[in-house]
Amino acid sequence: MITIFDFRPAYPWPGVERMVADPDLEAVRSGDEAAFEALVGRYHGPLLQLATQHVRDRGVAEDVVQETWLQVLASLERFQGRSTFRTWVYGILINVARARRRRESRLLPFTSLFRREGGNGPAEDPDRFNRDGAWTTLPARWDGLPESRLLSQEALAKVSDAIAALPEKQREVILLRDVAGLSSEEVAGLLGITPANQRVRLHRARAAVRLALEDYLE
């Protein structure tokens, strides 16, 4: 299971990163086949989701994930430990996926180009609040919902669809932060955006996912 919340600061002082143990990196370096296999299994879903947003086609996305691992193995000796191992792997995947998309761009519909980024307004529908800014109808309580319903294939499919419908910049952030479980610092660093900007995109994306679940559950 992926950790959703990770409030550890990303190595706040220079030079320290080389001394901090990175269990994922060790899993590969150790040469232990079972450890490597477990790692590949754990990363597979997030890597595939992220690849799918660049190349769309599931089969091509699987190729992208595969090529990413091969590149990881090929360049592991040159890995400097300036970022965490997982951030490095996701960075490689993004590069592989972009290269692949460029190669196939003539064949693909660029729906995301026509999608709007969502402007600067609130993420939540203003009609849910009265003139004083209070709820008109209270949101339902979800804490009593059975796990079987919440994590059903149908619920997961709704969430997947909601993510697929997001503008690309929001989609990338929610996949890295909430599906892959990277820390907010890792996500901001990987995408070259400020932490504040990262949170704005994340908030919009989470609001869209919450709405999709509300539609499904209620």
Partner 1 sequence: MRCREVVELMTDYLEGALSAADRARFEEHLAGCPGCTAYLEQLRVSLRVLGALAAVPVPEAQRRELLAAFREWRTRV
| Contact status, residue 180 vs residue 46, Cβ threshold 8 Å | yes
Cα 111 from Cα 168, distance rounded (Å): 10
| Contact status, residue 47 vs residue 58, Cβ threshold 8 Å | no
CB of 40 to partner 1, least distance (A): 6
**Which residues are CB-neighbours of 102 under 8 A, at least 6 positions away?**
none
- Single-letter code of the amino acid located at 99: A
Q: Is 11 in the site for partner 1 (CB under 8 A)?
A: no
Q: Is 165 in the site for partner 1 (CB under 8 A)?
A: no
List the structure tokens of 146: 């059975």
Interacting positions 98-117 with partner 1 (CB under 8 A): none
Q: Is 199 in the site for partner 1 (CB under 8 A)?
A: yes
Question: Which of 95, 156, 194, 215 contacts partner 1 by CB under 8 A?
Answer: 156
CB atoms under 10 Å from CB of 52, counted, come to 22
Binding interface with partner 1 (CB under 8 A): 1-2, 4-5, 7, 31, 33, 36-37, 40-42, 44-46, 48-49, 62, 65-66, 69-70, 73-74, 76-77, 122-124, 126, 129, 132-135, 138-143, 145, 150-151, 155-156, 159-160, 174, 178-181, 184, 195-196, 199, 202-203, 206, 209-210, 213-214
